Structure 1
Amino acid sequence: MSCAAGSYPGGRNVALARLREFGDVDVVVELDDDGLLVDADVLRRVRDLYAAEPRLGIVGFRIADEYGETQQRHVPRIGGSDPLRGGYVTGFLGGGHALSTAMLAETGDWPAEFFFAHEETDLAWRAADAGWKIRYCPELLLQHPKTSPARHAIYFRVNARNRVWLVRRRLPLPLIPVHLGVWTLLTLARTRSAAGLKAWFGGFLEGVREPAGERRPMRWRTVWRLTGLGRPPVI
């Protein structure tokens, strides 16, 4: 499906469109195809969460490998946060989550042009700006093989390009250079591969030069809300 639609988020949009044809769908659960829901009652728990909170837009699952370890990049908080601490957050994981269809009707679907990388942040920021809540629920466990995003040959280029597109689309103008400056420094500090850095800067320039799509920046009150939740949209 993803290949036919041209991208991973594009494939999800195809699935969402198909579900809408059936009608009467309130919540959609999306999982990586190599993931496994360990507990039998995950879907019931998801149903109960949405029934209890009408403005709940996104529920993020905890992702752990077959040994029960959750990589830090899979915890939707800054720093060495406890993967077992749930609560309201600013983002979610693409590998396992639930989406309110009422929210999607208001925010729009996935950014298909991203192919992969940062599409979750684009959707999360739109949801937050529209007043929807994002909740991380570590009790909803998806078992997934331990992997590195850099295993994809185009990771560095697409990661940089999409980050530039993301901020051009969603951030107030004064925050764009701040966000990109922070992430340029982090990339220089973290990346040990010269080829990876070359690809990253190539993707960065691609993101600057090519159209980013519709610009709909978040309101400043959303910036403060995300900051209050522990992750200002410059990190």
Structure 2
Amino acid sequence: MTSVGVVVLTMGSRPEELRRGLESMLAQKDVELDIVCVGNGWDPVDLPAGVRPVFLPENLGACGGRNAGAAAVTGDVLFFFDDDAWLTDPDFVSRAICAFDNWPALGILQPRVHDPLSESDATRWIPRVRKGDPYESSAAFSVWEGALLVRRSTFDAAGGFGDELFYYHEGIELAWRCWDSGDVAWYAGNLEAHHPAAAPTRHDMFYRMHGRNRVWVARRNLPTPLIPVYVGTWTALHLIKSRRDRAGLRPWFDGWKEGWRNDPGPRRPISWRTAGRMALRGRPPVI
């Protein structure tokens, strides 16, 4: 049986949601789970039986916290899970593992995300340019990390999440590196995870990290000629999208400038062959 290492990341600020998510994970059937709750700057307490704590005295960000959790669990597949996510299908994990078992090239699997309190699925979590039907599965070139399954070998080949990114856009880097390793990242519209459809702007750091990491993802992962094209495309798109949110432009551009000025960490560009594979799939790494 394929074993699964579950990494639930939390700062301890949502105890009711955390317990809901952990209980939904413990309710999964016909799977072997090794579950840890990673406290990012918080010592996990009052955890259900079957969940081990991992205490990080300092908040290492989403990337560092998930990496610490991945190192603490066993499993052929890793399941990264936010503290406000939850499952209602007790066969969710077993169905996902069947996909990995039946498709050796599958490296990353992102489910469809739904908020039961909302009338529709949050389209920002459908990882394709033309969102279309959220139930339609497709290749993915960016992934949402809040309920994400990754083959351990794919995760190791990618070098895990980039600690330097701290938070935001790390799913782009992981997906690109998955494709660069020869594996496939996939959006599974037939698998459903739940998460509040809250705006990411609720996080204080959102605009700065969004702008900085958009530049850093390019500088860390793209062939040199594609870096200005990718950043230029996304800068133009952000300006268009921000017509109704002018207040966020200044912190976004502060982050954007920081992205060019500061060291993004180790550079590991994808190959031109990978860029071509992505283009043939309809998502060249310039958008």
TM over 0.5: yes
Distance 1:32 1:147 in 2: 13
**Higher RCO (CA-CA < 8 Å; seq separation 6+):** 1
Pairing of 1:92-131 with structure 2 (within 5 A): 92-131=143-182
Give the 4+ runs in structure 1 shifted more than 4 A: none
Please state whether the residue corresponding to 2:112 is helix, strand or coil. Answer: strand
Pairing 1:163–2:214 present: yes
Q: For 1:69-127, what per-residue CA distance to the aligned partner results, in whole angstroms no more than 9, with x for missing partners? A: 21111111102321110132222211111010111222211112212110011111111
Q: For 1:167-203, what per-residue CA distance to the aligned partner results, in whole angstroms no more than 9, with x for missing partners? A: 0011111111111111111111111333311111110
Pairing 1:77–2:115 present: no
- Consecutive unaligned residues of structure 2, counting only runs of 5 or more, are 1-38, 42-57
Greater C-alpha Rg: 2
Distance 1:154 1:44 in 2: 36
Distance 1:107 1:181 in 2: 26
Please state whether the residue corresponding to 1:59 is helix, strand or coil. Answer: strand
| Amino acid aligned to 1:17 | A
Pairing 1:14–2:74 present: no
Distance 1:112 1:178 in 2: 25
Pairing 1:230–2:282 present: yes
Equivalent pair of 2:110/2:144 in contact (CA under 8 Å): yes
Pairing 1:151–2:202 present: yes
| Aligned counterpart for 2:109 among listed residues 40, 59, 71 | 59
| Amino acid aligned to 1:139 | N
Match of 1:2 in 2: 40
Higher strand share: 2
Match of 2:252 in 1: 200
Aligned residue pair count: 231
Distance 2:85 2:105 in 1: 27
Using the TM superposition, name which of 74-83 and 157-166 deviates more.
74-83
- Consecutive unaligned residues of structure 1, counting only runs of 5 or more, are none
Report the TM-score, using the length of structure 2 for normalisation: 0.77
Distance 1:33 1:68 in 2: 22
User: Measured at CA, do residues 80 and 18 of structure 1 come closer, stay the same or move farther in structure 2, by a change above 3 Å?
Assistant: closer
Identity %: 38
Report the TM-score, using the length of structure 1 for normalisation: 0.94
Post-superposition offset of 1:146: 1.2
Distance 2:258 2:113 in 1: 32
| Aligned counterpart for 1:214 among listed residues 249, 266, 279 | 266
| Aligned counterpart for 1:35 among listed residues 77, 82, 85 | 85
Equivalent pair of 1:2/1:9 in contact (CA under 8 Å): no
RMSD: 1.4
